[in-house]
Structure 1
Amino acid sequence: MRKPPLSLLSTGNCLKGAMFGRWKLATCAAAFLLFLTGEKTLAQPAPRVVTLEEALSAAAKLQPQLRQARSATAAARAVADEAMAPLLPQASMNLGYERTTANYTSRPGTLPASATGSGNFPMSWKTFNFFSGSATVNQLIWDFNQTSSRWRAAQARIDGQRESERAVALQVALAVRSTYFTAHVDKELVEVARQTLHNLEKHLMQTEGMVAVGTAPEIDLAQARTNLATGRAQLVSAENAYLTAKALLNQAVGWTLNLDYEVADRTVDPVEGEDSPIEVLEAAALKSRPELASLQRQLDAQLLTVRAIKGGYAPTLSGNLSVTPGGTALDSLSWNVAGGLSLTWPLFQGGMTRAQVREAEAVAEQLSAQIDQERMQVRVDLEQARLAVRAAKALLSAQLDAVVNARDQLRLAEGRYAEGVGNGIEIGDAQVALTSAEAQQVQTDGQLATARAQLLYALGHW
């Protein structure tokens, strides 16, 4: 024979004992309603659970900041290809056709009078076909590294942009982790608020029973009802904060999920070397931080640009080859071939080249200063993150003790009240102390997780 659910047996027994007092009947009714609500809740489908790994993976594909960074890298590659183009042969072709008359026009000084006779030529409006064309190839031979240095500078900027893209990826990962941990903290605070509300409901039922039999004053009932209303308001605020945190998580990831999902429960593993001396962490961070690598590659590119500009003091040598057909019929064209060298030397341009060199060198010095500044920022980031980790771990140990003590305090207060030697204010104070201790423990857990995320970022790790 199948047994009825334990909850039904408990409810039935409760109803059988309702004859012992009105407060007992109220307690049974509340328990029965909670049972029905629980059965309805179990029938609802489980919400989707989002893990941190899933959020990070989605952000790597969807986050608009990363897409912008990838586009900037693609643009840098295109600029490098543009800079390489002058090093390659430049070929062009031109074809022409015209229908023209053939009347001779004499210009003064073009031919001697003995060659033209009287200079009078018959006019004719007869027209002829004339086909023309040209094919030309130009090749830069040597320009004292002006073009090649600009191309190498563009290549260095590609590397710098790749590092900038990696820096954006680290910033996105930090934002996702931080908002995820905030959402997880808010989720735990919702659970704390629910547990607090559950305790307050039990306190109210207990107080109603004791007031009904005359073992507690009416003011205790008023205090219990006030505490319950406050607990409900705190639960609403906690749930709203959790929904807001999930909205911010959606923004950090770059997706448009509804807010009906749950963030997964997880523990944050310690960061490798989080207790190491600052010198050890700094040495590792200086090798892996993409901001430093990006600035260094930008400096390399700028120094190559200085070299390219200085090449403008020297001449440029180029060669050309051309083929030019022409004639009145396509089957009887005349062909000419020409080849040559061209040497171009800008001897004086009003000091423009010298000014360009000074400008480029000043930009290089600016980048060098930015590198030194970024090195100091790396150390500050490491100091802040490791100190935050250390403080959170120490605070968490104290918070755990506070929660244990607050639970004992509430248990003792409930026992004193049940024996008639305590009062409602004592229970309320104990419940507030427990709620505060549990909330602070949850928040400290979140602070430790966020501090470790910041340490990962400071070390240049994804």
Structure 2
Amino acid sequence: MHKVVVLLALLLCAICSSAHAETLTLKECLDGAVATSRGLKSASHDVEIAREQVGVARSTRLPRVDLQAGYVAQAKAQAFKFGSQSQETQDPRYPFANFSVYQTLYDFGRTGAAEGMARMQSEAARYSYTGNEQDVFMQVVQAYYGILTAVKLVNAAEDEVTQMLSHQKTAQALFDEGVVTRNDLLQAEVRVASSRQSLLSARNEVQKGWLLLNYLTGAPPERRAELKDDSQLPSTPSLSEAPDMSKRGELSALKAVVGADEYAVKEAKTIHYPELFAKFGIDYLSNSKVREQAIVAATVGLKVNLFDGQASTARVRQAVQARSRDEERLRDMEERTRLEYALAVSDMLVARDRISVAEKAITQGVENLRITKDRYQEHVGTATEVIDAQTLLTRTRTDYYRSIFDLQVSAARVKRATGEL
């Protein structure tokens, strides 16, 4: 007996621990989405790629060191002609090597502009990642509260089935007594079947919601848990308040892109300027015909492009146009963000009013259904009135649950518009 008690206690502990493990909060879902989202992982690589580009741009500040070596085999050695005589000046086959160090001394800001452009592009990639992360968060919030709403709609549908079965029994009893016609009974049976269809549809919405949430959070498709909804109804901001959009990732990314465009214009203009450089080199060529086979030289010089077919001028115009384009995109994004914020706040206000109306309507609907059922049992009301009363109550409950969902999602949209989700 003692062993049986111990086994039952262990089983109870396992059940309790598994039930505890199945509780899932919104924050856990958001953390899971960040850790497993393929889209975010892809965007994180873009951030790293852009960061490495800064090192590429900065590399021109350091010297360039090259080494080249090889072996040449000629059909005939090169030679000078002296009348009818000739004298070879090199061996027909010879190894060679070249070592050089090239350092840019001054390029009129070209390297600095390229480095600044790469740095701003790196910031743009980082802010874009933040925007992508916010989009994933928004999808998780919608899926999470979608499941909570769907579960409540299932409960409402189950209650409707129970009420319709009760009405069917009442109609059956009254029909057996000969008080009502068979039409009332058939109507009740059809309504029970319809309620069961609605229940199946509601349960299917729960299953689809879980499939979506599991996909977003990287969980197995078959995972099911108890969602913990401990959030309070969010407060509604005023439409007259100017939103703080400093944390909006897409806006910050576009501002960084415009900054990169400024550097791109500067870099394009420096193409017309000369470059001062220094070079040190060692050239070795095996040649038994000459005395010096290795030549060591140091050079300080200036190089400038005199004509490139107007390509440099076209690059400047291209950079200016790209900057103008991105400035327009930034202004458009700012306007669309303000609109997104205003729409979300407006939806929050409407959803809060809908909740207040629906709460009162549910109480009235329950009382209406009770009175209608009593009237039917007293042979005063009709079966249609009972069905209509139950349908009205279910619709009112559905409106209430959807209003709560709309309020929570609208609050998330407000935070998404300001980059605070």
> TM-score range with shorter-chain normalisation?
0.7 to 0.9
Please give the alpha-carbon distance, in whole angstroms, between the structure 2 residues aligned to 1:260 and 1:226: 35
Residues 365 and 319 from structure 1, CA distance in 2 versus in 1: closer, same or farther, beyond 3 angstroms? same
Structure 1 residue 374: Cα displacement: 1.3
Does residue 184 in structure 1 map to residue 158 in structure 2? no
Partner of 2:237: 275
1:419 corresponds, among 378, 382, 393, to: 378
Residues 276 and 136 from structure 1, CA distance in 2 versus in 1: closer, same or farther, beyond 3 angstroms? same
Please give the alpha-carbon distance, in whole angstroms, between the structure 2 residues aligned to 1:144 and 1:384: 49
Which stretch of structure 1 is more off in the superposition, 444-453 or 94-103? Answer: 94-103
Structure 1 residue 235: Cα displacement: 0.9
Partner of 1:211: 175
Partner of 1:310: 269
Does residue 82 in structure 1 map to residue 40 in structure 2? no
- What percentage of aligned pairs have identical amino acids? 22
Residues 381 and 221 from structure 1, CA distance in 2 versus in 1: closer, same or farther, beyond 3 angstroms? same
Partner of 1:242: 206
Please give the alpha-carbon distance, in whole angstroms, between the structure 2 residues aligned to 1:68 and 1:422: 64
Question: 2:281, 2:298 within 8 Å by CA — same for their partners in 1?
Answer: yes
Question: 1:403, 1:434 within 8 Å by CA — same for their partners in 2?
Answer: yes
Partner of 1:3: none
Does residue 227 in structure 1 map to residue 191 in structure 2? yes
Please give the alpha-carbon distance, in whole angstroms, between the structure 1 residues aligned to 2:77 and 2:354: 103
Q: Counterparts in 2 of 1:81-120, with a 5 A limit? A: 81-96=55-70, 105-107=79-81, 119=85
Which stretch of structure 1 is more off in the superposition, 297-306 or 236-245? Answer: 236-245
> What secondary structure, in the 3-state scheme, does the structure 2 residue paired with 1:106 have?
strand
1:171 corresponds, among 110, 135, 140, to: 135
Please give the alpha-carbon distance, in whole angstroms, between the structure 1 residues aligned to 2:161 and 2:76: 107
Structure 1 residue 218: Cα displacement: 3.0
Please give the alpha-carbon distance, in whole angstroms, between the structure 1 residues aligned to 2:337 and 2:86: 89
Question: 2:239, 2:345 within 8 Å by CA — same for their partners in 1?
Answer: no
Q: Counterparts in 2 of 1:13-412, with a 5 A limit? A: 48-96=22-70, 105-107=79-81, 119=85, 132-251=96-215, 253=216, 255=218, 257-259=220-222, 261-262=224-225, 264-271=227-234, 274-280=236-242, 282=243, 284-285=244-245, 287-325=246-284, 335-412=294-371
Task: String of CA shifts for 1:380-406, please: whole Å, max 9, x gaps.
Answer: 011101110011001110001110000
Question: 2:78, 2:92 within 8 Å by CA — same for their partners in 1?
Answer: no
> What secondary structure, in the 3-state scheme, does the structure 1 residue paired with 2:85 have?
coil
Which stretch of structure 1 is more off in the superposition, 49-58 or 184-193? Answer: 49-58
Please give the alpha-carbon distance, in whole angstroms, between the structure 2 residues aligned to 1:215 and 1:262: 49
Please give the alpha-carbon distance, in whole angstroms, between the structure 1 residues aligned to 2:80 and 2:241: 88
Please give the alpha-carbon distance, in whole angstroms, between the structure 1 residues aligned to 2:74 and 2:417: 76
Question: 2:29, 2:217 within 8 Å by CA — same for their partners in 1?
Answer: no
Structure 1 residue 328: Cα displacement: 7.8
> What secondary structure, in the 3-state scheme, does the structure 2 residue paired with 1:288 have?
coil
Structure 1 residue 102: Cα displacement: 11
Please give the alpha-carbon distance, in whole angstroms, between the structure 2 residues aligned to 1:436 and 1:148: 66
How many residue pairs get matched?
A: 400
> What secondary structure, in the 3-state scheme, does the structure 1 residue paired with 2:400 have?
helix
Structure 1 residue 334: Cα displacement: 5.8
Task: String of CA shifts for 1:104-157, please: whole Å, max 9, x gaps.
Answer: 8224xxxxx6xxx97366x9xxx9995543321111111111222112101110
Structure 1 residue 183: Cα displacement: 2.2
Where do 5+ consecutive residues of structure 1 fail to align? Answer: 1-41, 108-112
Question: 1:180, 1:263 within 8 Å by CA — same for their partners in 2?
Answer: no
Partner of 1:34: none
Structure 1 residue 302: Cα displacement: 0.8
Q: Which amino acid aligns with 1:83?
A: A
Please give the alpha-carbon distance, in whole angstroms, between the structure 2 residues aligned to 1:415 and 1:270: 37
Where do 5+ consecutive residues of structure 2 fail to align? Answer: 1-14
Question: 1:160, 1:295 within 8 Å by CA — same for their partners in 2?
Answer: yes
Structure 1 residue 48: Cα displacement: 4.0
Structure 1 residue 449: Cα displacement: 1.1
Please give the alpha-carbon distance, in whole angstroms, between the structure 2 residues aligned to 1:207 and 1:366: 72
TM-score when normalising by structure 2: 0.86
Q: Which amino acid aligns with 1:424?
A: A
Please give the alpha-carbon distance, in whole angstroms, between the structure 1 residues aligned to 2:296 and 2:188: 106
Residues 207 and 290 from structure 1, CA distance in 2 versus in 1: closer, same or farther, beyond 3 angstroms? same
Question: 1:49, 1:261 within 8 Å by CA — same for their partners in 2?
Answer: no
> Highest CA radius of gyration, 1 or 2?
1
Please give the alpha-carbon distance, in whole angstroms, between the structure 2 residues aligned to 1:432 and 1:129: 100
Moved over 6 A (4+): 98-104
Question: 1:137, 1:322 within 8 Å by CA — same for their partners in 2?
Answer: yes
Please give the alpha-carbon distance, in whole angstroms, between the structure 2 residues aligned to 1:340 and 1:131: 25
